[in-house]
Amino acid sequence: MRCRGCDYELWNMKPGTCPECGRPWTFDDFRFFPRMAQFLCPHCEHAYAGTDERGLPVPRAFICAGCQNPIDLAQMRALPVPGSDGNLAMGDEHAWSERARLGRWRAFWRMVGQSMFSPSRTGSSLPHEPRFWSAVLFSILCASLGIVICAFPFVILIGFGSGQLSSGWQYALELVASFGAFALGVALAGQLGFLLWGAVTHAILCLTGEVRRPLRHTLCATLYCSGAFAISAVPCCGIYVCVISVVWMAVSMISAIAVLQKSSIARTALAVLVPPAVAILLLAASIVWAVSSAKPFIPAVFKPVPIVAPAQDASPATSTDDETPAQENERSQAGNRPSPDTRESP
């Protein structure tokens, strides 16, 4: 049991502040294996085993069986059970909360692996008082990592294609700064979506039964399950892997929140999957409505023009079948009759 700020050993000490760095701590900040740690009465040092899910005594305040004095967990000291190591007494660690001891780079990738491959541990190891902004920071790092590595080759191609990247460092710095601002903006927008997802999930859990932890715990578990977005850090192809990341995150949320809230898998799956299903239906309905509303405004050049056969001019009749023989004889004589202007030659 070590301080989360400076890694100072806290066994055999009362909860309070770390003597090394002054960081406040309580036994609720840690997770012990049941019956692997013993808690000592401050008056007679009578030992009590931790039996609840976090390896702590139940109840937290009681009358000591040895000295009959009222005691509270905040007054007790903790030690590993005789014959065991302190590391064996500690339960699953929350890697991101231990980043001061593990190192930020190592803690980040360990948390990513935990959220992807052991999501139930993500829920069970969540601190009793999780830090919301710490969870937001982890989620932003996961989203930004995927966006930057996926889109950076396109940024380089655009820079060289414009012919200005080689003109000086000023344009290169402006391009990188613009791309960084874009990536951060997309990552922050993603956090709003994750928080909305977690809030709706918690509301559905409240409507369908009891919950053990408040809303902040569900939101933190949701953000810590976003480690699946680290796999979208594939150059030029991350946008396609992003769909897999969303599905993976949903599966991780079901396992983590089920353990966190002590709810059934079916109930948790309903609460987790309803928000994205509703979002997909609303998106499809919006697309259909937009397409149907745009029909009256389609330009006429895109409308099919009917093909009309050109009218044929009627040729003058050379003979008429309805003429009588007398009329035909008269017409032929008129054609042979000389014109008035014609004179006989001498």
* pLDDT (mean) for 122-140: 87
| Residue 21 DSSP class | T
What average pLDDT is seen over the chain? 79
Separation between Cα atoms, residue 12 and residue 272, nearest integer Å: 42
State pTM to two decimals: 0.64
What are the structural domain ranges in the chain? 16-91, 104-288
pLDDT for 251: 94
Name the most confidently modeled range: 15-19, 152-156, 195-199, 319-323.
Answer: 195-199
pLDDT for 342: 47
Separation between Cα atoms, residue 128 and residue 65, nearest integer Å: 28
Residues 6+ apart with CB under 8 A from 225: 115, 119, 122, 249, 252, 253, 256
Separation between Cα atoms, residue 277 and residue 246, nearest integer Å: 12
Query: Per residue in 242-266, pLDDT tens?
Result: 788 889 999 999 999 998 888 899 9
* H, E, C per residue of 186-222: HHHHHHHHHHHHHHHHHHHHHHHCCCCCCHHHHHHHH
Q: Which of 149, 228, 217 minimizes the C-alpha distance to 190?
A: 228
Q: How is residue 230 written in tokens? A: 């680290």
Kindly list the distances between the CA atom of residue 72 and the CA atoms of 221, 281, 330, in Å, as whole numbers in the listed order: 29, 53, 140
pLDDT for 163: 55
pLDDT for 128: 76
Query: Per residue in 22-51, pLDDT tens?
Result: 888 888 878 788 888 888 888 888 888 888
pLDDT for 345: 45
pLDDT for 171: 63
